A and B are shown apart, each in its own frame.
Chain A
């Protein structure tokens, strides 16, 4: 947990509005589905009515299966995609409604680290040009100053200066990802969305890059939205964790709470699937049956009801809202929190069933 987040947690008695640095409400991103016609409009509901907040200085982990909309959410958040509906309040401004010039200024404050370091660097540019590009776009400094800054960035992400005139294809995956990180840092952003930033790297390199990201967070007081399907890494790096399923956030809370007391049946299944290093530890595995339903035509009611062992009548009809399970820990399930919650006894038996 970074220093600022710790300070905020210590001063937790303050009004909650002050913590809401980035506030997302009702965010939707639909893509036209294949085979969609004028008469029969169909959409892939990649992100469907998502609300959450990001606090300054924290690392918010975002986990979920492939295709659940994690990446789309991350990209819509910094308006790489135009949201279909909803509001992204950042520093009091709605990102969705900003004009070109305002958005360009705003882009300096939020950056993106991509999954595939090879694809995210222009093969025709040297590292030098790649790192000077952000300053050229925003017209910062003279060419000489830009080069100095680029060299400083190289140094900060641990790249030797002789890579300066190299092309991306002459570097290894880990080195390329460092270039990607340096580029994201160039404009001194406050928020960085890391979309599977280490997934494409070797395991040994993953640890180095994760450590680098943590160091940089400390040094530049960054806020991360860390998107990954690797639960162990998210557990390590995050202050809070959000779990996504089929375009919706089903559970969000402090990482200890999510990993130790997952409330939503989907999160429980996910957490139970983390391989344990300890062979003696005898854990209950929860096996999910069936496939993820199509986001073009998601199930009515609770989206998870087709695969949920705890599914009741209400789940097929009503979409559960996020309810507070404990302080700061929310889950979208009819059986947890709130008045409709079933007794805890039932929860335990349900999750213990195969």
Chain B
């Protein structure tokens, strides 16, 4: 293994799995959840919506692995099926917020001047409110639906990405290689996407993976207040808040909580790995 020289890009993924154990763990966790998301219906032993008051608040047993909640629903099945809503919402929210924030922040930092001031003041307007309250206001103004909730979360979240991106771009754009590209005749757009973006995207990716858990939680809080997915649907955040009311029945909140934890942990590990991969200086090389 030591002497083999990898030159193909496809094999660098394999190499990363080998050299970076945390990345491998992250990939394993996220891959497992991906499988669960796709095949949730087949794996789940019970109907996640089926209520059976006879077995309400049962502790974990051979029949109900994660126990049952206050309406007698099988928590294991709900956690599995709920992955679709929760992980899906988290991914969409973070992706949209990161891309939008990155472009706006990049523009702000790259162009500078008055435009920079205006964009940053607007961003501060959004961040000056607690995100949950702002999200509630926007969501209730636009009406409660899954799409609106996602949109709301993006509106609340983009300034974080814009600020990080702006700071990175301002730092990166003063580098001489940006000037070199300009002296070669590259257009501003090309300089932004070819020189500046690749050198500033690392922090965004790390921030996005760290935020992934937060996004699931914010979505959960909104769902809890009836602004996200409607109540009967299995959704991790709503399940956790539901369980928090019945604290003596520890399993109700613990298992969806562990699900959130494992997903955000996996995302964090992958984020760190990708960041290292994008930066050739941090990339581990086999010689």
Contacts and interface: CB of A to CB of B under 8 A. Distances in A.
Interface residues of A, number: 31
B182 A119 contact: no
Interface string A125-169: 000000001100110000000000000000000000000010101
Contacts of B190: 137
Chain B interface main SS type: helix
Interface string A103-133: 1110110111011100111111000000001
Nearest to A187: B184
Interface in B63-104: none
B185 A138 contact: yes
Contacts of A112: 179-180, 183
Nearest to B175: A119
A121 B198 CA distance: 13
A124 B278 contact: yes
Contacts of B184: 107, 111, 133-134, 137-138, 183, 186-187
Interface in B158-197: 175-177, 179-187, 190, 194-195
A108 B184 CA distance: 7
A96 to B, nearest CB: 16
Given A120-B176, A121-B177, A165-B7, A80 B182 contact: yes
A322 B256 CA distance: 81
B183 A111 contact: yes
B185 A137 contact: yes
A78 interface: yes
Given A121-B177, A124-B278, A107 B199 contact: no
Nearest to A126: B280
Contacts of B2: none
Interface residues of B, number: 22
B3 interface: no
Contacts of B7: 165
Nearest to A107: B185
B12 to A, nearest CB: 12
Contact of A122 (B182, B187, B199, B281): B199
Contacts of A121: 177, 180
Interface in B5-31: 7
Given A119-B176, A123-B281, A169-B281, A133 B199 contact: no
Contacts of A78: 183
Interface of A: 75, 78, 80, 103-105, 107-108, 110-112, 114-116, 119-124, 133-134, 137-138, 165, 167, 169, 180, 183, 186-187
A-B pairs, top 3 by smallest CB distance, nearest first, are A107-B185, A120-B176, A119-B176
Given A80-B182, A108-B185, A124-B198, 18 more contacts: A80-B183, A107-B183, A107-B184, A112-B183, A115-B176, A119-B177, A120-B180, A121-B177, A122-B177, A122-B195, A122-B199, A123-B279, A123-B281, A124-B279, A137-B184, A138-B185, A167-B280, A183-B184
